[in-house]
Amino acid sequence: MFLFSGSPSRKKKMTHGAMDFNELVKLVRAGLMVRTDSRQMQQGECFVAMPGTAVRGIDYIPMALQKGAKYIVAPKDARDLVAPVAEDEAVVCYVENTAKALGELARAYFKTDELDMKLVAVTGTNGKTTTSYIIEHLLAAAGRKVGVLGTVTYRWPGFSIDAKLTTPDCWMIHELLANMAKADVDAAIMETSSHALDQYRVAGLDFDVAVISNLTQDHLDYHGDMETYFNAKAKLFTEYPHQDKCCVINFDDPYCRRLLNKCENAIGYGFGDPVSSDKHTLRGRVLSCDRHGLKLECGFKGKTWEIDSGLMGQHNAMNLLAAQAVGLCIGLNCKDMRKLNEFKGVPGRLERVENEQGLHVFVDYAHTPDALINVQKALRSLDFDRLITVFGCGGDRDRTKRPIMGRAVAEYADVAVLTSDNPRSEDPVAIMDDARPGLKGAAMVMEDPDRQEAITMAVREMTPNDVLLIAGKGHEDYQVLKDVTLHFSDAEAVQQAIATIKGEQDK
């Protein structure tokens, strides 16, 4: 590794010098390869020195040059450091923001600005994945060929890979969209995280529709406070191209509602009263909700229709509204919305775990206080005797939400089972210690840091008309302990628990 240790005392004679960024964009559009990892550089390519805190891209410029980089993209404010080292060996483009610049270069290389494809971005604290799946179903039922980049998978017809990040890195996004176009995809849906927006991972993209589901506490270890978190989400609506893009905004959420007046072409959706009377609104009313699903009445521009969905809970009614608002933006009508009656659900989102004992067990990805409240309220509203909730808190993440998650479980669960989630580098017991104060006042609390043991404990506690919620991991099939990633599935853990209990009873 080669690192800059400070400003050099004198500048070397420039033999290559600086270059206008627009000229570099032309070269990239013609086929010049761009990389952000100096270890992968090959002769004659372009290296983009990405911003960072612990690791700075400018620190790896010497390695990129050693590997043969011919072009360097570097931040203007680091010119005094970069110029003496790089300008005599390569052509350097200085830009305000190298992360944004990478988006423009990716756009040029993969020609994503020329794609004939509707691009939908879905952001928000909770509901992104479910909403994306519902939009996918709705558009596919209307004859669209749909691709999705989301928390569970990156997929389109004939292709699917497991997702490592909710929103992949900028270069990969553009590459995936280009590959979708080759497969004749004409509508792409992206879950867009606050990290991705803050880090400009979606730079260079023109969104046709932007959706925000809600904003509640999460990721404050990264953003610091709720206002900064909101501003990161708001970038999707205020900073990205396509001035006429349709903005789908939850007017029931106080943070989201602030965006309504900032967006000219907006559809507000929700169950309450919208603040802005001059905006189009999609209004919903839950007609019924039970363990079989929900019936939803929808109204838009004087027309009404009903959806009879297998999804459960008020939060899913909201997700159904958001997806339909996207459909309206893209040109679907109320008759198209009835296709949602056929939607079967989302992996790991209030997903029923079928079992030979006929026990009512659900797994859900809920790992924020608000998500825990929503999913527990959904189950609590049904005709079960007791709600048993297994939950934990992720390690190396926002510690302040841990007791709040405990309070959410204490408020709604008859039995709270505290365990570990993905402890990562932290001690699982220490994480549980952080969450425990929130459980004060809970009707009944059980604990075990071993997630399998905790799930077995919860299943053993169940009676036939109880319902068990296992929250936090949902679709994930792994657990991260220190630097080791182990296979672990909550659904499989339920089956193992049932087998263990049956074995004990057979003795």
Query: pLDDT 10s digit of each residue in the chain, 507 long?
Result: 344 444 333 333 334 678 999 999 999 999 999 999 999 999 999 999 999 867 899 999 999 999 999 999 999 999 999 999 999 999 999 999 999 999 999 999 999 999 999 999 999 999 999 999 999 999 999 999 999 999 999 999 999 999 988 899 999 999 999 999 999 999 999 999 999 999 999 999 999 999 999 999 888 888 899 999 999 999 999 887 567 899 999 999 999 999 998 898 999 999 998 876 678 999 999 999 988 899 999 999 999 999 999 999 999 999 999 999 999 999 999 999 999 999 999 999 999 999 999 999 999 999 999 999 999 999 998 889 999 999 999 999 999 999 999 999 999 999 999 999 999 999 999 999 999 999 999 999 999 999 999 999 999 999 999 999 999 999 999 999 999 999 999 999 999 999 999 999 887
Question: Are both 111-342 and 351-506 of the same fold?
Answer: no
| Contacts with 24 (C-beta within 8 Å, 6 or more apart), sequence order | 32, 46, 71, 73, 91, 93, 105
**From its phi and psi, is residue 300 left (phi > 0), alpha (psi between -120 and 50) or beta?**
beta
CATH 3.40.1390.10 correct for 21-107: yes
- Phi, psi at 191, each rounded to 5°: -75, 130
- Phi, psi at 160, each rounded to 5°: -160, 135
Contact 268, 274 (CB under 8 A): yes
Q: Map out the domains of the chain as residue ranges.
A: 21-107, 111-342, 351-506
pTM over 0.85: yes
| Contacts with 351 (C-beta within 8 Å, 6 or more apart), sequence order | 345, 362, 363, 364, 474, 475, 491
Using CA atoms, how far apart are residues 133 and 226, in angstroms rounded to an integer?
27
**Can you identify the CATH homologous superfamily of domain 351-506?**
Mur ligase, C-terminal domain (3.90.190.20)
Q: What is the CATH number of domain 111-342?
A: 3.40.1190.10
507: tokens are 């003795």
